A and B are shown apart, each in its own frame.
Chain A
């Protein structure tokens, strides 16, 4: 027979043990929650840094634009004066004056890019069919694709839900993405643009179950992908691609603002943009747009479908 005290000891010990297990489980959960909050905090901090960076560049842009465009106006007026004042210019003089004109236009277009960047906050959204905007952007780069021996392929899903989009700005983004893709295919290649609707099922950057996630699991979104068959992106450059003034293009070929502006505009639409290398070679830009129906409605529709089946 087991002595009474030992039985109590055993009971207490086993209760103590289960307490420990319980506390350990609670601790592990707390640690997990803490780790989650820490990750969230880190992500928010990064977003804040990025937002502050963008805001200061936006503020800078207007000031720089004014300070640079005034001297440009003087150079342009000066070049025009010389063109008239020199009685019989040699070909060298003509070429120099033409170079000055081109330089002014180039500097002005960089400034234009900066202003676009700071003006990216003014959206005029209306109900749009993404495919129509994509097709319009394709028309605008037709010449560039032909000149660079790039074949354009489209895989556009018909009857996509209408999206609230700023037509001009979204077209501008697609034109910019197409031109980037064409630039990446110096020897020619194939540019594929694809649209489709999708229900989000996997957790990803800014896609999840948390309130702070831009997209929620279960939500129906409209996707657009722009694939090229170019050289792809150097892995070390991937994290910096959306930074203002970062460019992998040759000098004079890019301002380094295209993708930064695109990201700002897409973010203002509540969407996502990402860039990755394709396994088959070349790069892929992925755009995620929110459908005008909210996530709650999506779940509701899913339930309705299930109920009608049941």
Chain B
């Protein structure tokens, strides 16, 4: 039987309820392994430990915001190939569409999202 390795997704968002629900919903599908992180300052460490295929990153977070986290990851030689999608309430679906859009080299997905949108986005962007 073919066993396809699960895609590893790191979700960084300061809303614990959101990261928890995204984790259970995605893991129920069977093809994803999710790690969540609610503190932007710990995101780099989490990425180093987990080595995800894609990172969903909130933009507006207390302490270290999404922009700073993305810059840190992009500078790190072990992590700079990992695609980052900003999953954020700071953009609207009208601006980025339902499946997300790349603006100025950055991929965005607008909250609120349903799981079909999230999965489609992973398929489009994951390494």
Q: How far is the CB of A148 from chain B (nearest CB, A)?
A: 25
B112 touches A (CB below 8 Å): yes
Q: Is A162 an interface residue (CB 8 A)?
A: no
Complex Cα–Cα for A108 and B117 (A): 16
By the criterion CB–CB under 8 Å, are B92 and A65 in contact?
yes
A70 to B60, CA, bound (A): 11
* Inter-subunit contact B15/A70 (CB<8 Å): yes
Please, which residue of chain A has its CB at the minimum distance from the CB of B113? A73
C-alpha gap A70/B91 in the complex (Å): 12
The answer to whether A70 and B92 have CB atoms under 8 Å apart is no
User: Which of B1-9, B20-28, B34-42, B45-53 forms part of the interface with chain A?
Assistant: B20-28
With A and B bound together, what is the CA distance between A164 and B57 in angstroms? 39
* Complex Cα spacing A70 to B89, Å: 6
Tell me the residues in window 34-76 of chain A with beta carbons closer than 8 Å to chain B beta carbons: 62, 65-70, 72-76
Against A, the Cβ 8 Å flags (1 = close, 0 = not) of B86-100 are 000110111000000
CB closest residue in chain A, given B29: A84
Please pick, from A62, A66, A69, A81, the residue contacting B112 in the complex, using a CB distance under 8 A: A69
Interchain CB contact under 8 A, A65 and B114: no
Contacts of B60 in A (CB 8 A): 66
- Residues of B70-127 at the interface with A, using a CB-CB cut-off of 8 Å, are 89-90, 92-94, 110-115
B11 to chain A, nearest CB (A): 11
From the candidates B24, B92, B94, name the one contacting A81 in the complex (CB within 8 A): B24
Contact A69 B89 (CB under 8 A): yes
Interface size on A, residues (CB 8 A): 23
A268→B62 CA distance, assembly (Å): 35
Would you list which residues of chain A between 108 and 154 have a CB under 8 Å from chain B? 108, 111-112, 115-116
Complex Cα distance, B26 from A253, in Å, reads 35
Q: In the assembly, what is the distance between CA of A23 and CA of B60, in Å?
A: 68
Q: Does B25 lie within 8 Å of A112, measured CB to CB?
A: no
On whether A77 and B93 interact (CB within 8 A), knowing A66-B60, A70-B111, the answer reads: no
Residues of A at under 8 Å CB distance from B? 62, 65-70, 72-78, 80-81, 84, 104, 108, 111-112, 115-116
20 CB < 8 A contacts A-B = A62-B90, A65-B89, A66-B60, A67-B89, A70-B15, A70-B89, A72-B112, A73-B15, A73-B113, A74-B21, A77-B21, A77-B112, A80-B21, A80-B115, A81-B24, A84-B28, A108-B93, A108-B112, A112-B92, A116-B94
